[in-house]
Each structure stands twice: as C-alpha cells, then as structure tokens.
Chain A
Amino acid sequence: MNTTDTASSLEASRKPRLFRVPRNVHWGLLGLLGPVTAFLGIFFLMPLVIMAIFSLLEPGLYGGVVWSFYADNFGRILGWANGPIEEFDIVYLRILMRSFRIALITVALTLLVCYPVAFWVSRLPPRRRNFCLFLITLPFFASLIVRLYAWVLILRPSGFLNQLLSTLGAIREPIELIYTETAVLIGLVYIMVPFMFLPLYASIEKLDRQLIDASYDLGAGRIATFRRVILPLTMPGIMGGAILVFIPTLGNFIVPSLLGGAKVLMIGNLVEQQFLYARNWPFGAALAMLIMSVVLALLMLYVRTTLKRRSPRGTAAKPRTKDRAEGLT
C-alpha cells in the first residue's frame, strides 16, 4: 500500500509540468559554458564565416563586394585567374613560400635558443626559477610596437649596432642590417621566444631526472641519452612551442613592415595591403583563408601521425594521447 502511494504521488508531481526537460541536461554546466560558447560563436566564428564567404565574392570596383560567386580571388594566387584586370601572378606564391620559410626558420631558431635555457632554468632552485619565468614574461609588459622600434634603432645604418662595430674598428662603412630578411628574422625570433619557451619549459620541467641517470647507467652517453630519452620525452613541449610560434609568425605583418621595409614582404603584409590600401577585401580574404587552410591541414596531419604512432600496443595509448594533447595546448 505504502509503495503504491509514493508511486502515485510521484506521478502527480510529474504531471503539472508544461514541458519536460530531458533528464540529462546539466544546468550548471550549461550556465558555465553557454556564455563562452556564445561569445566565441559571435566574435570568432562569425567573422571567420564572413571572411570565408567574402573570399568567394567579386570585389567591387571601388571597394566592397559584389554578391556573385567569383573564384578568381583564389585563381590569382593558385593559377587559374585570367581576367582582364586580375591575373595569376607567381609573386603571391613566392611570398607565401617565403612566409613559410621564414616561419620555419623562426621556429628552429627559437627552439635553439629556448631549449638549453629551459633546461637550465628547470634545474634552478625554485625561487630563482620563478624569477627567471617572470623575466621571460617581462616583454609582454611593453608594447610590441615600442619594442620593435627599439630594434629599428639598433639595426639602422646609424644605429647602435653599427656604431658599436665601427667604434671597435670591425667595420668602416655601416653594414646593411635593417630592411633585410635577417632583420625580420631577428625581430620574429625576439618576439616569439616566450611562446616557444613556456611550453618547452613545461615539458622539460616534468622530465624525471632519474630517467636521465638511468640512461647513463645503462651505457648511453650524452648524445645517445639526449636522442633516445630527453628528446622523445620533451617532444610534446617542442611540438607545442613550434605550433605556437609557427602560426603567429606565418601571419605576422608588423615585424616585416617595420624591420623588412618594402623588401621583405610576408603573407601577412599582403593581406594587410589588400584590406587597408587596395580595398580588395575578397582577395585579402582569399589569401587569409589559404593560409588558414594550409595551417589547419598541417595541424591535422600532425595530430593524425601522433595518434597513430601512439596507439598500436594495447590500451596504454589512451592516457598517453591525453598527454600529447596537453602538450599541444
């Protein structure tokens, strides 16, 4: 009797509801994630979609867009455009290739700079270690433009470096430093070092020192230990840093325009020009979409290969891929 009573009361409490909410909705989670999702949807995804659409529209004669499908924006870069005004020009691909090359060199150089430093910092006593980490983030406190102008002052013909070298008697005439690819690389490495350092440091700090001892103990010298133990175990940090440096470098336009002048254009400059000066938004959008799709393709390739390499034996693949993903972010 008792049981039927409670059952019917349950029934009663359910009935008056106007609509039933699915049982598995977590209101708390929704409340926490909803605003972020909405924000990203409106301010990140929407502009991206607009740009993707623009890249397939015809540019208006005086700026703006004409609402008709137009593939020649991409054609100008990739080779099929042959219109009266807008033709394929190999220069765009060249700039694209240069951007890739510069971005890769920047990754390599920042890695070269950061790896030993990160190792050294991770072995310091905690207080000095934290101080070093603070120093790494110090540049963020000053404006990027100000810091890059400082490099203009250093690198220009009458600049600090040339004066120093000529006072030392190393050179007679000022050497050409600014407005070269070297200057662009110096600037990019300079601004990108913290982005490489932090993920690298995170994975090097986690490295168990006993594993290095174990490797020596088993007969491996320094080089073999580095290659067989240290490098593979810090690979997540290396890849994380490389991605964090590569992507912003590829699209960077401030450094090449300040330190590269008109001579060392990168793809970012080209996009900037199309939007601001040429007022050809569809072409600018097409350039931007092209970079983005190439980067995305590379990233997916990376994720696919690491997943594949990690998964073959047994169930251990699961926790480890998680490790990988952590290294990525």
Chain B
Amino acid sequence: MKPSSATAPVVEIRRATKRFRTPEGQTVHALAGIDLSVNPNEFVTLLGPSGCGKTTLLRTISGFEALDDGSIHIQGRAMNHIPPHSRPVNTVFQNYALFPHLSVGDNVGYGLAVRKVPRREREMRVGEALEMVGMNGMQQRSPGQLSGGQQQRVALARAIVNRPALLLLDEPLSALDRHLRQTMQRELKSLQSELGIAFVFVTHDQEEALTMSDRIVVLNGGHIQQEGSPSEIYNRPVNTFVAEFIGESNRFQGMLEPFDGQFSRLRLEDGDTLTLMSPASGAADALHVMLRPEQFCVHKPTEAAEEYASLCGRLAQKAFVGRDMEITLETASGRPIKAALRGHDSRTLAERNVGDEVTLWYATSAPHVIAA
C-alpha cells in the first residue's frame, strides 16, 4: 500500500448492499455490506470468481447500479443520487465499447466534446492521451480496423483523457491473448503510476491481480473475504476460500496436538502429521493449514537456520513445465501433495520415475494456519 496519510481516500464505500431478484423469485445479495476505500494513486484489484459481486461493486461506483443500502463517497461527495454522467469516474469496459460510427480520434475526444471543450484543446488532449497508450497518429482510423489490443488502448485513452479522479476497469484484458495480456498488464501498471490516478480493476484472473495491484480485495458471495497486498493475500490467506482461489495450494485439515516446547503437530484425519513451528492458538481445534507447492524441496538445506520437517510418499505424477518440475506425491494414506521444484531439486527429480519413493522437505515455519 502506498502512503496516503495526508490525503483523504478517493472513494469511500460504506456498508454497500445490493440485492437482486432471480427469475425464480429468490433474493441474491450481490453486495452484502461492503466497506472499502481507495486511496489516491492506488491500484486496487477486485478479485473473485464470476458472480462474486465484483462487477456489481464497480457498477455502483460508476453509477450504473444503485445501492439498496449503504453509501458511496467520491472525493468526499456523496454519490448515491448522482447519475453516471456526473460522476468524476471513467470506465474501461470489458468489450471496449468503442463507438463504431466514430473515428479513433472522435472516440477518444467524446468526453471532451460532450463537455464542450474547445476543438483545439480537444485535439491536443486526444493526441496526448493516444500518445500515452502508444496510439498517436491513429486518430483517423475507425475502431473496426483495429486489433483487439489496439481497441483496448483506445478505450483506455478515451477514459483517461477526461482526467477522472478514479479509473474503473471491468475485466479489460480478458478478451486478449495471453502474451498481449501480459504486455498490457505491465503497461497498465506503469500508466497508472505515470498518471497518478487511482485504478479499480476488476478481474477473475488471480495472476493478473497479483502482478498489478497495490492492494487486492478478494470478493466472494457479496462479502470481502480478504484485502491486502498481493504478498499478504498469497502468503497469508485468512480463510480457505482465499487459499484455494489464489494460486495452487495444498490444504491440510486436522486436530492440533499440544505444543511440545519446540513444535506443534497437526494430526491429519488420515494419520499423517504435519509439523508446525508456530504454536498456533493452542487449543486442540480443527485447523486448516496451507502449504504452497513451491515451499517444498527435495534436498534438505544443510545450513538452514530453520528446522525442516518431511513428508514421504510415492511419486504419482511429474511434469516438466520449464522453470519448475511439477509433481504430485501420494502419501501412504493416499493423500495427493502438489509440489513445484526447481533448480537442483528439479534435476534430481528428473532422474526419478513415477512410483519411486520421494521425500519432500518443508520449513516448519512455512505451513500457514488458516483460522478455520
């Protein structure tokens, strides 16, 4: 998160609630009391599976959906009864929504023309905005002549040319191919810091969220599951939903044995044990513990400051995917464990065959305890 002590948040959302009626007559809470604030110059990502409420939240900020309850303030002004066209925000739509009857230049200049900005200033600003997205000189083209990535850039220019207080992006990269998407991710991020505008970015792609965000807000079922920096979200998920949704993970469920002075042990349902360093809460409760695939290694580090514990099993699957060797280990009880190994570990495993016994080591500080 970027420091913002001196400045007030750009957007402040309090107890935002939105209900929908399904055709079957049920009520669904798209937003069930969301509290969120976005600071100036912050890149916030709303992340969640489809139907989690992230697009609804975005549309309530832009004004296309009205809240049933709660409030939205933008730059300190209450927005509840302000129509979309009077809000100081702009949106980059999922399918770009470029006007097909206008040229690229007129598309970008649309917001300025509506606000009666004089023509010369308009042309100058349109040129600047297109320059920022690397599309200057394309003013005369028609949107139909552009590739997906170019259309995306024009849509971006069309939004930023109005100098909004906040830019909303509704899954803008989902229609692009993987390579272009990665390029655009980097460009978006640098554009954001260059402009100094707060971005609220909606996506269901966790990789995208991790790459670009200052802060990620994970949504599910109309609730905020967790918010925090990408590394917080990745390394310390607060619940099983976040742990499963972000990245690959091995999840263990079991009863915690009493702290023996050095380690705690988690006795899993099928008899395996997992050694933990942290004396978690103490109570002999049912616990969820998460280990990321890349937290395993084959060669136990010899001069490690930490204590290491191991899991043994039979190699059930292995796949070389370039940087990593991805394997699945099957423990004696049949529990699959996903691990991603690289370097020396990867080379060692390359010589092993499926069915061989393999021991995986993990630092006892690595397992992350999820509060139920």
Contacts and interface: CB of A to CB of B under 8 A. Distances in A.
Number of contact residues on A: which range applies? Answer: 20 to 34
A224 interface: yes
A219 B110 CA distance: 9
Contacts of B141: 313-314, 316
A229 B101 CA distance: 8
A215 B145 contact: no
Given A314-B141, A319-B144, A208 B85 contact: no
Given A214-B93, A218-B162, A221-B85, A316 B142 contact: yes
A315 B158 CA distance: 23
Contacts of A208: 97
A217 interface: yes
B95 A216 contact: no
A328 interface: no
A316 B144 contact: yes
B90 A218 contact: yes
B91 A214 contact: yes
Contacts of B63: 216
Name the residue among B94, B100, B145 with the largest chain A CB count within 10 angstroms. B100
B85 A233 contact: no
B225 interface: no
A228 B109 CA distance: 12
Given A219-B162, A313-B141, A314-B145, A213 B114 contact: no
Contacts of A314: 140-142, 145
Contacts, number: 78
A218 B103 contact: no
Given A218-B158, A220-B110, A228-B110, A313 B99 contact: no
Q: Contact residue range for chain B?
A: 20 to 34
Given A220-B110, A316-B141, A213 B103 contact: no
Interface in B122-161: 140-142, 144-145, 158-159
Interface string A134-173: 0000000000000000000000000000000000000000
A219 B97 contact: no
B228 interface: no
B336 interface: no
Contact of A313 (B94, B97, B140): B140
Name the 6 nearest CB pairs between A and B, nearest first: A316-B142, A218-B111, A214-B97, A210-B97, A216-B84, A220-B114
Interface of B: 62-64, 83-86, 89-91, 93-95, 97-101, 103, 110-111, 113-115, 140-142, 144-145, 158-159, 162
Interface of A: 208, 210-211, 213-221, 224, 228-229, 232-233, 313-316, 319-320
22 contacts: A210-B94, A210-B95, A210-B97, A211-B97, A213-B91, A213-B93, A214-B97, A215-B110, A216-B83, A216-B84, A217-B64, A217-B89, A218-B85, A218-B159, A220-B111, A232-B101, A313-B141, A314-B140, A314-B141, A316-B144, A319-B144, A320-B144
